[in-house]
Structure 1
Amino acid sequence: MSEKTVSVIVPVYNAEAFLEECINSVLRQTYPAIELLLINDGSTDGSGELCDRFAVEDSRIRVIHQPNAGPSVARNTGLQAVTGEYIQFIDSDDAIHPEMIARFMASIGSHPLLICGYRRVLKQNGRIFHSIHNPLPFSGEFSKQEFLTLFTALYPNFFIHYAWNKCYLASFIKEAGLQFNPNLDWGEDLLFNLEVIERCSSIRLIEDELYDYTHSNADSITSQYRVGFFDNTQMMQSMTRAFLKRNGSYHGEMKDAFERYYITRIMLGFWNLFHPKTSLTKEEKKQHIVRIMQDDQVKESLAYFSSGDEENRLVGSMIAQQEVGQLYDYLAMKSQSRMQQEPKEEKWI
């Protein structure tokens, strides 16, 4: 009996510096039945030529060149081209464990979705000098309703948010007509995964860290000002809240845990306004503060500020009283000390 084929989709855009390691990590898999789709999304460096060279050397590789349209469109191009029974996504600056696909194929069975743990790695001159371990805290087969009870443990640690630590049943994705939304700047993976989970009857989890996510200081909120951070936060939280409500899970401890996490994102939105690299004027910062203060979702979650630390309680009180000037002064003062170090909860946004 022949092995089932796994289609691995890699969107490529100006990734020449790290693409070779990514491709080799796929080609070195102990599971042989793979097809690797490299979607060159209008790269202006040598990425396209590198993809073509690898395709000449290994018949399992297919290269599709297209004008630059963003990672969602590139992934959708891959989805239309796959021939395998299962689908995986890899980012072009990341790498996978040699046993990743073999472990997936030994575990997924008939489940439409499999999720694994991952490592967040920091590199210097192409070598890992630090890694943060993120094993999945649960392992086994779960019905959709059982999985939803685990949601608050998985969501804050970004096990749900991304496509790269997952394996999808291709027929399931195709029959549901699922694609990545090209109109989203952030959160397209999350929306895709929520749509998958909503349609699943069961999900397979394995705790092993089989994916290496390459993390740089540029990924941190303390490293740059993120235009539209609050709007994207609102969009992602709104999508997830609606998902939980539709599936009857937005209540009790699930609701409380989700809203407490949401408060941390609001706080990050405030700190983002005071990044030293922002070009916002004092008045523009105040305008953004007013907009956050008056946001309906923020108002609905105000009570959860009081369950946080002293800083959250103080900020929550200022929001409740609409004390724009006081909140501006407080954030301006505190932001100076916060930029000296990167708190753990601010690693990703």
Structure 2
Amino acid sequence: MPEISIIVPVYKVEGYLKKCIESICNQTIKNIEIILVDDGSPDQCGEICDYYSKRDSRIKVIHKENGGLSDARNAGLEIAIGKYIGFVDSDDFVSSDMFELLFDLCEKNNTLIAGCDLAYVYDGTDRVDYCSNAQEYIITSSEFFELMLDVQKNVRTGVWNKLYKRELFNNVRFPKGKLFEDVGTMYKLIFQADMISYVSIPGYHYLKQREGAITNGKYSKKEYDRLEMSENMVQYIRKYQPQLQNAAIAFRAVNCHLTIINTMITSKIKDEKMIQIIKKDLRNHYFQIIRSHISKIKKMQLLLLLINYDLYKYLYLNQKKGSRGTDSW
């Protein structure tokens, strides 16, 4: 039995896929299986997957009709036999020792989950930010979840910079047909574990601003998926982890509401229904947001959005113009 099954959903990433696969094949832990799920990719991704499977017997390839990221991950979970499960998105890559490091943390500390930081990689550059003072922690699931909800941290709510004992997925699957599925899934995994191992090393290299990325495009009705996934998370936290309620609400306000509005503005679209939903939610949870850990500037932006959308839009566009397109909001 392999120690780790690493699941890679593949779709329209032929320019990035080789680097991704090679970073996994070159892991310092060798007893792994690599499951490449070709989700009906219309480019050469399927052929690239088959090429690597012939070179490395640890690689399994699934070719399937396009069903989206969640469906591809679920297909990988159905055949995974490793003691642990890991995920890598096919336009990202990982440090050579990331999975061995996370595996050792789980085994040494007897935890069901281990996580690390991530490094942001910008398309067209080789710059990666590394941490020189790595620290290891064993923390509760609530503490780890709060770290993920902190938008200033590099832990994030994604499934990719973490390792999971396989039985955590016995009753958990990703929501098929939905985007922003990580937000709607992570809490179901995290709160099955009492304690979690964490190391502040950026082992996962996350590609930002890739042209054509699903979550990097123009505003569309798929933003309602983001809204739904975030709402499901808040409702769960409110019921089962009420001490994290303010953090979850603040995370939704910044990572969901502001992101949706900013995408709407840059796309030159005004979805009145979405604006009213967001403003109503901000109004209902204003005091929780004020008492949360998010920065003063984020609180001011949310208050401005609540008071006057058009003024928020005007200041947002001028800020982007003044900072030459970088979104520091």
Shorter-chain TM-score bucket reads: 0.7 to 0.9
Which residue matches 1:226?
219
Give 1:78 shift.
0.7
Which residue matches 1:300?
284
Cα pair distance change 1:80/1:222, threshold 3 Å: closer
Contact 1:136 1:206 in 2 (8 A): no
Give 1:34 shift.
1.0
Cα pair distance change 1:137/1:258, threshold 3 Å: farther
Which residue matches 2:318?
337
2:27 counterpart SS class: coil
1:274-331 CA distances to partner (integer Å, 9 max, x unpaired)? 22x33x3xxx5555434433x3x33311335767445444443x2xxxxxxxx24413
Q: CA RMSD in A?
A: 3.0
1:80 and 1:136 mapped to 2: Cα distance? 38
Which residue matches 1:161?
157
1:55 and 1:202 mapped to 2: Cα distance? 36
Gaps of 5+ in 1: 319-326
| Partner residue of 1:173 out of 146, 169, 172 | 169
Contact 2:130 2:201 in 1 (8 A): no
Between stretches 241-250 and 108-117, larger displacement belongs to: 241-250
TM norm structure 2: 0.83
Cα pair distance change 1:132/1:225, threshold 3 Å: farther
Which residue matches 2:8?
10
1:102-146 CA distances to partner (integer Å, 9 max, x unpaired)? 21221112422111111111131xx51x3355899963223xxx3
Q: How many residues align?
A: 315
Check if 1:140 corresponds to 2:137.
yes
1:171-207 CA distances to partner (integer Å, 9 max, x unpaired)? 3323xx2211113122x12222211112222222122
2:218 counterpart SS class: coil
Which protein has the larger Cα radius of gyration, Structure 1 or Structure 2?
Answer: 1
What amino acid sits opposite 2:249 in the alignment? E
2:104 counterpart SS class: helix
Which residue matches 2:177?
183
Contact 1:8 1:34 in 2 (8 A): yes
Cα pair distance change 1:134/1:159, threshold 3 Å: farther
Gaps of 5+ in 2: none
Between stretches 259-268 and 7-16, larger displacement belongs to: 259-268
Contact 2:70 2:176 in 1 (8 A): yes
1:257 and 1:22 mapped to 2: Cα distance? 33
1:221 and 1:50 mapped to 2: Cα distance? 21
What amino acid sits opposite 1:211 in the alignment? Y
1:134-159 CA distances to partner (integer Å, 9 max, x unpaired)? 899963223xxx33135333312462
1:121 counterpart SS class: strand
Deviation beyond 6 Å, 4+ runs, structure 1: 134-138, 219-223
Percent of residue pairs bearing the same amino acid type: 23
